[in-house]
A and B are shown apart, each in its own frame.
Chain A
């Protein structure tokens, strides 16, 4: 049997891996942009699609659900949380905030983005 295109044997995703995918997608779309009501709906779709594509390219036997939220920076408070019922060893759910706390200098000053990635093995 040919080994070309065979999926790797990993059973799950690491937090690190998902963090990289989420950050890469958000940076590609939002870096140095200003919150613009007309553009935001396009940005959120693009971020979600980039992440799904990079997850799909890993060729692992998983179903993926990605949620992206962009909120304008004002004085309003925002809280998010996630809860799941899934298979402990193989499935993953992670939420990522952008800009990260430590990257305050370069990070975007007009908006926050929160990405939730849920992977379920089939």
Chain B
């Protein structure tokens, strides 16, 4: 289906991605060997999920997994787009051993 603006999709995207990420993280412990696969497969799963939501949007998904410890971290995003139709969502989830931050951008074409 086609959508006029990302703001219509925003809530649906946020709910569905939150659910995906939380179920992905549940019961996982930060492990250096596996994390690389996790970020890649999580990003792909999210993009596949989004593809089903709208046919006239391009999506970019960026996923960061950070081990819980005493490191400080800051993330910022800046975009140059059409603010009437395009938009972004930032999802923050965590479990006992790690934080997961996902940035999703939707650009209409």
Residues of A within 8 A of B86 (CB): 63
Of B50, B60, B65, B79, the most chain A CB neighbours within 10 A belong to B60
The contact string, 1 if C-beta is below 8 Å from chain A, for chain B 19-46, is 0000000000010100110111011101
**B14 at interface by CB-CB < 8 Å:** no
Residues of A within 8 A of B92 (CB): none
Candidates A52, A70, A81; contact of B42 at CB < 8 Å: A81
The docked-state distance in angstroms from the alpha carbon of A67 to that of B66 is: 16
Candidates A73, A79, A93; contact of B64 at CB < 8 Å: A79
Residues of A within 8 A of B59 (CB): 84-86
Residues of A within 8 A of B50 (CB): 85
The contact string, 1 if C-beta is below 8 Å from chain B, for chain A 97-121, is 0000000000000000010101010
Closest to A43 in B: B74
The number of chain B residues touching the other chain, given as a range, is: 35 or more
Closest 7 pairs (CB-CB, A-B)? A83-B43, A48-B78, A44-B76, A81-B39, A76-B69, A63-B81, A118-B60
The docked-state distance in angstroms from the alpha carbon of A37 to that of B44 is: 33
**A24 at interface by CB-CB < 8 Å:** no
A83 touches B47 (CB 8 A): yes
The docked-state distance in angstroms from the alpha carbon of A65 to that of B76 is: 11
Interface size on A, residues (CB 8 A): 46
**A80 at interface by CB-CB < 8 Å:** yes
Residues of B within 8 A of A (CB): 30, 32, 35-36, 38-40, 42-44, 46-47, 50-51, 58-82, 86, 88, 103, 105, 107, 109
A85 touches B47 (CB 8 A): yes
Determine how close the nearest CB of chain A comes to the CB of B40; give it in whole angstroms: 5
**8 examples of A-B residue contacts, CB within 8 angstroms:** A48-B76, A63-B81, A65-B107, A79-B39, A81-B43, A116-B103, A118-B105, A122-B109
Candidates B64, B68, B105; contact of A69 at CB < 8 Å: B64
Residues of B within 8 A of A84 (CB): 47, 58-61
Known A75-B69, A85-B50: A64·B81 in contact at CB below 8 Å: yes
B73 touches A70 (CB 8 A): yes
Determine how close the nearest CB of chain B comes to the CB of A5; give it in whole angstroms: 18
Candidates A47, A73, A80, A87; contact of B58 at CB < 8 Å: A87
